[in-house]
């Protein structure tokens, strides 16, 4: 029998996909966000437009709810989070604090929080060929300014609500989630979507801009794997933060080359060293994920990017007609 589930951030990329998954598996889902999904209608049984920075809206959102998936956040790609420290930290601390308070007061059975690999210390990510990041590497703390600090703080807040009130909290540290139905332009998009957009708009033989020198390294997780992992982790008995990401690391240049191959276009790269590029290297250590769930993301980067590129190509083609 399904549960009464709340998904906050249900108008966003991951939240929208999560709603579809939960509805399809027989649950009753209430979605809440400050905006509706951008690219298709929600599957939620109920969708509420509300500003979750306000405590009273959080109280309304959790009424008669069994499980909360808290994905609401002010966020974006490296360009956006590098330039909006104060607003991101303020907005997200308000959302997360009020959601935890409201969930505890409503005696919600389980609370999932979407954290980020941005909580990991900069001093652990200074090389391109770095050792994959273990959950224990979070301390001594030196997260990314703004977004990383507020994520790390809320991880601790989840721990406090678990320890002090018995609220069953689950925390996943996302590593670069990508896929269709996500933001691909406007400044908040992340690297895979931005690169897919640039290739979709390019002609064969064109030059495209790449932020940084292209040698910075990352791992990327397809949205279907992300949603599967979220639900499995939430239903597990593990309450400490867990990495949720692929452990296959590539350079940004390799990512561009892969999208170019998928697009069938030959391009040249122009590296812009004035643009933000984040830490030098980042990869997920999935040992704990495998131990806790007996599972890890399985979609190859090639397969996931192919789906993502075709969707973004369709959006770009439609918008220029």
Count the neighbouring beta carbons within 10 Å of the beta carbon of residue 276. Answer: 13
Count the neighbouring beta carbons within 10 Å of the beta carbon of residue 34. Answer: 18
**Which residues have a Cβ under 8 Å from the Cβ of 119 and sit 6 or more positions away?**
138, 141, 143, 144, 148, 151, 152, 155, 173
Q: Tell me which of 21, 147, 178, 309 is the catalytic residue.
A: 147
Distance CA 48, CA 43 (A): 13
Torsion region of 60: left, alpha or beta (phi above 0 gives left; psi -120 to 50 gives alpha): alpha
Structure tokens at 155: 């991880």
**Residue position matching structure tokens 């640039």:** 198
Kindly provide the residue ranges of all beta strands, DSSP E only, lying in 107-166, ordered along the sequence: 110-116
Query: Which of 289, 311, 235 has its CA nearest to residue 25?
Result: 235
Three-class secondary structure of residue 178 per DSSP? strand
Distance CA 154, CA 111 (A): 12
Distance CA 296, CA 234 (A): 15
Active site residue 160: no
For 124-161, b/e burial (b = at least 16 CB within 10 A) is bbeebebebbebebbeeebbbebbbbbbbbbbebbeeb
Q: Output the CA torsion 223→224→226→232 (10° steps).
A: 160
**Residue position matching structure tokens 């990327």:** 220
By annotation, the residues acting in catalysis are 147
């Amino acid at each position: 029998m399904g549960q009464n589930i709340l998904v906050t951030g249900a108008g966003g990329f991951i939240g929208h996909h999560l709603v579809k998954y939960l509805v399809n598996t027989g649950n009753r889902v209430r979605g809440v966000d400050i905006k509706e999904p951008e690219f298709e209608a929600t599957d939620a049984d109920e969708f509420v437009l509300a500003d979750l920075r306000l405590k009273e809206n959080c109280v309304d959102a959790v009424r008669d709810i069994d499980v909360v998936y808290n994905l609401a956040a002010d966020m974006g790609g490296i360009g956006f989070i590098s330039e909006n420290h104060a607003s991101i930290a303020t907005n997200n601390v308000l959302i997360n604090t009020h959601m935890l308070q409201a969930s505890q007061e409503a005696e919600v059975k389980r609370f999932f929080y979407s954290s980020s690999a941005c909580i990991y210390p900069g001093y652990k990510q200074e090389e391109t060929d770095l050792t994959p990041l273990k959950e224990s590497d979070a301390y001594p703390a030196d997260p990314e300014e703004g977004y990383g600090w507020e994520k790390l703080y809320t991880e601790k807040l989840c721990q406090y609500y678990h320890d002090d009130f018995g609220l069953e909290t689950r925390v996943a540290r996302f590593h670069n989630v990508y896929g269709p139905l996500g933001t691909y332009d406007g400044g908040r998009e992340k690297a895979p979507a931005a690169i897919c957009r640039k290739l979709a708009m390019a002609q064969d033989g064109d030059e495209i801009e790449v932020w940084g020198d292209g040698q910075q390294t990352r791992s990327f997780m397809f949205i279907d794997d992300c949603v599967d992992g979220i639900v499995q982790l939430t239903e597990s008995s593990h309450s400490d933060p867990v990495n949720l990401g692929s452990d296959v690391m590539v350079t940004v240049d390799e990512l561009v080359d892969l999208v170019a191959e998928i697009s069938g276009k030959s391009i040249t790269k122009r590296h812009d060293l004035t643009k933000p590029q984040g830490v030098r290297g980042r990869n997920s250590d999935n040992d704990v994920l495998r131990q806790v769930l007996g599972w890890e993301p399985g979609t190859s980067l090639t397969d996931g990017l192919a789906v993502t590129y075709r969707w973004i190509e369709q959006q770009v083609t439609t918008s220029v007609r």
